[in-house]
Structure 1
Amino acid sequence: MTEHGLDFEKVRLALHGRPLLALDTRIAPGEVFSVMGPSGSGKSTLLAYAAGFLAPAFQASGRLRLNGHDITRVPAERRGIGLLFQDPLLFPHLSVAGNLRFGMPRRVPCKAQRIAEALSEMGLAGYGDRDPATLSGGQQSRVALMRLLLSQPRAVLLDEPFSKLDTHLRQEMRRLVFDRLREAGLPSLLVTHDREDAEAAGGHIISLG
């Protein structure tokens, strides 16, 4: 039987032979596993390893498995892993609907209907034709989250996704993001320097550095 989740099997990362971090854990479906640490502790390196774009200067050993499949050497674009960054990174040349459509798998039927439903779920009904630049920061963050979910990833990486939000919006987006990831049953890895982010995620927390 296939074991579902994201498995870091005796993963060791180093830079020019200097050990950075070691991780041996399983992230269960719907769990958000948090890695805390200051700049330079290896958080971003771990994300790059998991996403599949670790720079050649780094050395890695161990294995990464997703739902039982070894993806250690699978190219980034074929891993089925979604990313959510500090900035929404919406495409300025596409409408809100165009941004949502961009990552959707080709096999998804009735894309326009699914996009309309997604916007309604996020409290953005009727915003499909809007220019992303006309949205507030919170609205842009919601669109970025929905674009991620519509791409149907099998796991998610979160790179300080709340760090540029004000306090009230930060709390709102934490609840929204973590609730959605749990509902979707996605194993997720959060890197952050903020303990409140990690505690709000509700999963295991490790500290680096």
Structure 2
Amino acid sequence: MFIFSNKNQKVLGCFSDHLNDVRGCFEKFSEFFGLLFSEDSPDRNALQSLKTAIDNCEDAADRELRHIVDLLSQSFLPATRSELISLVVSTDEVANQCQEIARQVYLEKMEIPKVLHADILEIISITKRQLDLMYGAVDKLLNEYNVIFKDRKILDDIRSEESMVDNIEHMLHERIFELDISLCEKVYYRTLICDMCQISDIIEDISDQIQVMLVERES
């Protein structure tokens, strides 16, 4: 189990701050696509403001990540230190992916076919639920270890949500290639969908990391 001395309590606070930055990044990401799909000609200034907010949250998450790594270099046994660094780096990838997608859509002035809007928003909604579950799982790992050690249903729930995203991704793949658009456009939109679904995959990978950490501590 994880034993946090008074010295290491600071690590807990930084993990929480980092998770909040990542969640904030995803929330702005969700708002970005909500605005993008809300009207035929969304306000570019409003989109830019949301893109900037995503950038700021991602920057904050990166700073907190570096702070956590510095703190961990001074504490914990090497094996545990490596596990926790891997966990926070993986979590940071969620913010990175949100930033990259929002930047691409904004800078390339991407016009996504309306027939795809509802399902893309559904992917974002499911991924948000996944992210909330992941937040809870990491919190339990660090603060209520005995709870998640005995009951790992939250990890199964994360995987279940990822399966739902997978199903939508496959359906959209088929739908995109049925559209009356050029092959180049089809590949372009398919790649966007894959990139968005990658966030869900990252979260599932984090749940797998937590599962491994728990299994390795079983007696």
- TM-score normalised by length of structure 1: 0.26
User: Quick check: which one's strand share is greater?
Assistant: 1
Name the structure, 1 or 2, with higher relative contact order (CA <8 Å, separation 6+): 1
- TM-score normalised by length of structure 2: 0.25
User: Quick check: which one's helix share is greater?
Assistant: 2
**Structure exhibiting the larger radius of gyration computed from Cα positions:** 2
